[in-house]
C-alpha cells in the first residue's frame, strides 16, 4: 500500500513538473525579456523532452537569432517534428495568464529536480547499504558528500534576491559605514598575531602559509588555530594529515600551559604547579569545546570536503586548517590526470568551493619545492602554480640563523593595508610557540 502511494506521488510530481515547464515557456512567450531569468535553468532541469526542446529553441530564437519567440515562431521551428504538435504548442501558449509567474515556475522546476535527485540517492542507498564491501566508513562519507551536493545544488539554483540592486546597495552601504566608523577593525577572523592581523585584516577565504620542511608550519598553524578556537571561542577544525593526533594535542597542551612538551611526554614535571597548568589546559580545551582535531589517517579530497561539511553542519565551525596540502591522498581522478599541477589545482578549488558555499575561512599549510630552501618566493611553491593563484592571501615562513620571518607575499585585498610586509617572529621550541618580536615592522 505504501509503495502504491509512493508511486502515485511520483506520478503527481511528474505531472506538476510538466505543468510548470509549460507555464514557464508561456511566460517567456508573453515577455521575451523573461528569458534572462530563465537562464538559471538548464535543459537537464526539464522532465519532458518536448518542453526541453521548446525551451532550448526559445533561447536560440531570442538570444542568437534576435527574433521574437512565441507560438508561431516555435511552430515554424518544429514544423517537421511529429512529437511537438501544433496542439501542444497552443496548450503552452494558453497555460500562463501572466509573465510574472515565471519566478514561481523556476522555483518549482528546480524543486522537482531536487526531488528526483533525492529519490535517486535514496534508491542507491537501498541497493548498496547491505551489500557494500570494503571500507564502509569511507563509503558513508562519500554518500554524505553526495547528499550535500544535492542540497547545495538545490540552494544554489534558487533565485537570489540579494542580486537585486535595491537589496545589495543598501546592504553594502551598511557594511561600508561600519568600515568608516571603525577603520582599524579587522575584516577577517583575527589570529591574535597582532602585526599579522594589522597587515592582512585577519583571515580571508583561502589563506596559504608556505614554508620549508621543519621550519614550523604546523606549529604556526596550531598557534593560530588555538588562538581562534580557545581564546576567542570561534569553532575551528584542524585537519591533521601529518602527525599522530596525540602528538598534536600534546603540542597544544604545551602551548597553552607553557610546560615543555617533552616534560609532558616523559611525566617529568619540575613542580606541582606545572602539572596543574597542564590539567587546566586540558580543562580549557574540554570546557570551551570549539577546537576539533582529526587524526592523521590518509584522506582523499572527497573525504576532506565531506568532513568540512560534517563539522559545519554539526558544530558550526567558522575556520578550517589543513595540515598540509601535499599529504592529501590521490583519488581516482589524480591517477588519470598524472599531473600534479592539475590535481592540486583541482584539490584547492574543491576546498575553496566548499568554504565559499559554507562561508568558512580556510588556512592551507603547504611546502616549498627544493628550490625553496634558497629562494622563499612564490615561484618555488611546490606541486601547482594554481595553489597560489586561488589563494586570497599567501605568506611564507622561513628561517635564517634562528631568525624566523613570516612574509606576506600576496594579498588579494591589498588595498586594505598594503601588498607585502615582513613579520619577525621568535620561536620557543620547548613549548611549540611562535610570538611576534617586539620591533618596528
Range of the structural domain that residue 325 is part of: 181-436
Res 186 pLDDT > 80: no
Q: Does residue 3 or residue 187 have the better pLDDT?
A: 187
Res 7 pLDDT > 50: no
Instruction: Give this prediction's pTM.
Output: 0.65
**Region class of 233: left (phi > 0), else alpha (psi between -120 and 50), else beta:** left
Gyration radius of the chain's alpha carbons: 28
**If you ran DSSP here, which 8-state letter would residue 37 be given?**
H
- Domain assignment of residue 403, yes or no: yes
> Mean of the pLDDT values across residues 280-301?
90
In a shared domain, residues 206 and 153: no
For residue 67, the Cα-to-chain-centroid distance in whole angstroms is 41
Q: How many domains does the chain have?
A: 2
Res 360 pLDDT > 90: yes
264: its cell numbers: 609532558
Q: What is the CATH number of the domain that holds 109?
A: 1.10.860.10
- Say how far apart CA 21 and CA 111 lie, in whole Å: 12
Q: What percent of the chain has pLDDT over 70?
A: 85
In a shared domain, residues 133 and 194: no
In a shared domain, residues 55 and 112: yes
Residue with cell 574540554: 286
Q: Is the dihedral of CA 278, 283, 289, 292 positive or negative?
A: positive
Q: What is the CATH number of the domain that holds 332?
A: 3.40.50.300
- Domain assignment of residue 333, yes or no: yes
- Domain assignment of residue 310, yes or no: yes
In a shared domain, residues 153 and 264: no
For the stretch 15-55, pLDDT in tens is 788 888 999 999 999 989 888 878 878 888 888 899 999 99
Q: How confident is the model at residue 184 (pLDDT cuts 50, 70, 90)?
A: low
Residue with cell 553594502: 172
- Domain assignment of residue 428, yes or no: yes
In a shared domain, residues 333 and 189: yes
- Say how far apart CA 252 and CA 222 lie, in whole Å: 7
384: its cell numbers: 601547482
Give Cβ neighbours of residue 13 (< 8 Å, ≥ 6 apart).
Answer: 112, 115
Query: Which of 176-190, 254-268, 344-358 is predicted with the least confidence, judged by mean pLDDT?
Result: 176-190
The pLDDT of residue 266: 92
- Domain assignment of residue 390, yes or no: yes
If 0-12 CB within 10 Å is exposed, 13-18 middle and 19+ buried, where does residue 239 land? buried
Q: Give the residue from 409, 202, 200, 234 showing the smallest Cα distance to 320.
A: 234
> Mean of the pLDDT values across residues 153-165?
57
Q: Residues 85, 91, 96, CA angle at the centre, nearest 5°?
A: 145
Looking at mean pLDDT, say which of 23-37, 178-192, 215-229, 368-382 comes out highest. 215-229
- Domain assignment of residue 168, yes or no: no
β-bridge mates for residue 156, sequence order: none
In a shared domain, residues 249 and 316: yes
- Please list, residue by residue across 41-72, b when 16 or more beta carbons sit within 10 angstroms of its beta carbon and e when fewer do: beeebbbeebbbbbbebbbebbeeeeeebbbe
Res 433 pLDDT > 90: yes
SS (H, E, C) 386-422: HHHHHCCEEEEEEEECCEEEEEEEEECCCCCCCCCEE
Q: Give the residue from 287, 221, 214 showing the smallest Cα distance to 251.
A: 221
The pLDDT of residue 380: 58
CA distances from 283 to 279, 280, 286 (A): 6, 5, 5
- Say how far apart CA 408 and CA 35 lie, in whole Å: 46
Q: How confident is the model at residue 8 (pLDDT cuts 50, 70, 90)?
A: very low
The pLDDT of residue 374: 52
In a shared domain, residues 138 and 199: no
Residue after which a domain boundary falls, among 125, 159, 193? 159
For the stretch 114-158, pLDDT in tens is 888 888 888 888 888 888 777 788 788 788 878 877 776 665 544
In a shared domain, residues 75 and 221: no
The pLDDT of residue 158: 47
- Domain assignment of residue 389, yes or no: yes
Decide if 387 contacts 348 (C-beta within 8 A): yes
In a shared domain, residues 316 and 358: yes
The pLDDT of residue 441: 43
The pLDDT of residue 129: 83
In a shared domain, residues 198 and 257: yes
In a shared domain, residues 256 and 304: yes
The pLDDT of residue 338: 78
**If you ran DSSP here, which 8-state letter would residue 60 be given?**
I
- Domain assignment of residue 134, yes or no: yes
Looking at mean pLDDT, say which of 27-41, 135-149, 161-175, 196-210 comes out highest. 196-210
- Say how far apart CA 427 and CA 401 lie, in whole Å: 12
**If you ran DSSP here, which 8-state letter would residue 322 be given?**
E
By DSSP bridging, strand 421-428 and strand 403-411 are antiparallel
84: its cell numbers: 511537438
For the beta carbon of residue 373, count every other beta carbon within 10 angstroms.
Answer: 13
- For 119-172, the DSSP string reads HHHHHHHHHHTTT--S-HHHHHHHHHHHHHHHHHHHHHTS--GGGSHHHHHHHH
In a shared domain, residues 220 and 338: yes
Amino acid at each position: 500500500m505504501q509503495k502504491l502511494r509512493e508511486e502515485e506521488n511520483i506520478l503527481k510530481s511528474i505531472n506538476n513538473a510538466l505543468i510548470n515547464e509549460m507555464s514557464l515557456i508561456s511566460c517567456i512567450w508573453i515577455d521575451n525579456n523573461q528569458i534572462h531569468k530563465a537562464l538559471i535553468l538548464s535543459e537537464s532541469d526539464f522532465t519532458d523532452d518536448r518542453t526541453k526542446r521548446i525551451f532550448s529553441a526559445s533561447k536560440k530564437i531570442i538570444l542568437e537569432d534576435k527574433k521574437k519567440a512565441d507560438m508561431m515562431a516555435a511552430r515554424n521551428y518544429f514544423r517537421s517534428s511529429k512529437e511537438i504538435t501544433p496542439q501542444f504548442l497552443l496548450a503552452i501558449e494558453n497555460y500562463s495568464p501572466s509573465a510574472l509567474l515565471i519566478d514561481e515556475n523556476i522555483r518549482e522546476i528546480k524543486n522537482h529536480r531536487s526531488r528526483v535527485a533525492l529519490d535517486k540517492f535514496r534508491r542507491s542507498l537501498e541497493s548498496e547499504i547491505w551489500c557494500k564491501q570494503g571500507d564502509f566508513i569511507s563509503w558513508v562519507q562519500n554518500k554524505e558528500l553526495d547528499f550535500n551536493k544535492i542540497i547545495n545544488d538545490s540552494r544554489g539554483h534558487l533565485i537570489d534576491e540579494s542580486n537585486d540592486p535595491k537589496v545589495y546597495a543598501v546592504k553594502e552601504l551598511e557594511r561600508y559605514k561600519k568600515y568608516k566608523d571603525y577603520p582599524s577593525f579587522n575584516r577577517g577572523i583575527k589570529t591574535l598575531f597582532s602585526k599579522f592581523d594589522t597587515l592582512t585584516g585577519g583571515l580571508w577565504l583561502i589563506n596559504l602559509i608556505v614554508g620549508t620542511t621543519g621550519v614550523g608550519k604546523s606549529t604556526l598553524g596550531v598557534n593560530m588555530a588555538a588562538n581562534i578556537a580557545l581564546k576567542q571561542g570561534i569553532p575551528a577544525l584542524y585537519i591533521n594529515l601529518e602527525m599522530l593526533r596525540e602528538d598534536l594535542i600534546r603540542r597544544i597542551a604545551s602551548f597553552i600551559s607553557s610546560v615543555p612538551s617533552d616534560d609532558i611526554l616523559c611525566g617529568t614535571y619540575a613542580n606541582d604547579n606545572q602539572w596543574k597548568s597542564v590539567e587546566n589546559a586540558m580543562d580549557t580545551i574540554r570546557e570551551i569545546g570549539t577546537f576539533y582535531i582529526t587524526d592523521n589517517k590518509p584522506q582523499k579530497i572527497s573525504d576532506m570536503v565531506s568532513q568540512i561539511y560534517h563539522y559545519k553542519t554539526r558544530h558550526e565551525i567558522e575556520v578550517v586548517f589543513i595540515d598540509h596540502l601535499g599529504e592529501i591522498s590521490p583519488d581516482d581522478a589524480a591517477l588519470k590526470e598524472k599531473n600534479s599541477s592539475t590535481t592540486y589545482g583541482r584539490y584547492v578549488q574543491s576546498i575553496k568551493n566548499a568554504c565559499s558555499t559554507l562561508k568558512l575561512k580556510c588556512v592551507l599549510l603547504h611546502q616549498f619545492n627544493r628550490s625553496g630552501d634558497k629562494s622563499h618566493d612564490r615561484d618555488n611553491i611546490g606541486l601547482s602554480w594554481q595553489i597560489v593563484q586561488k589563494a586570497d592571501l599567501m605568506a611564507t615562513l622561513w628561517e635564517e640563523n634562528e631568525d624566523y620571518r613570516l612574509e606576506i607575499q600576496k594579498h588579494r585585498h591589498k588595498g586594505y593595508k598594503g601588498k607585502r610586509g615582513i613579520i619577525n617572529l621568535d620561536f620557543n621550541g620547548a613549548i611549540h610557540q611562535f610570538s611576534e618580536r617586539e620591533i618596528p615592522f
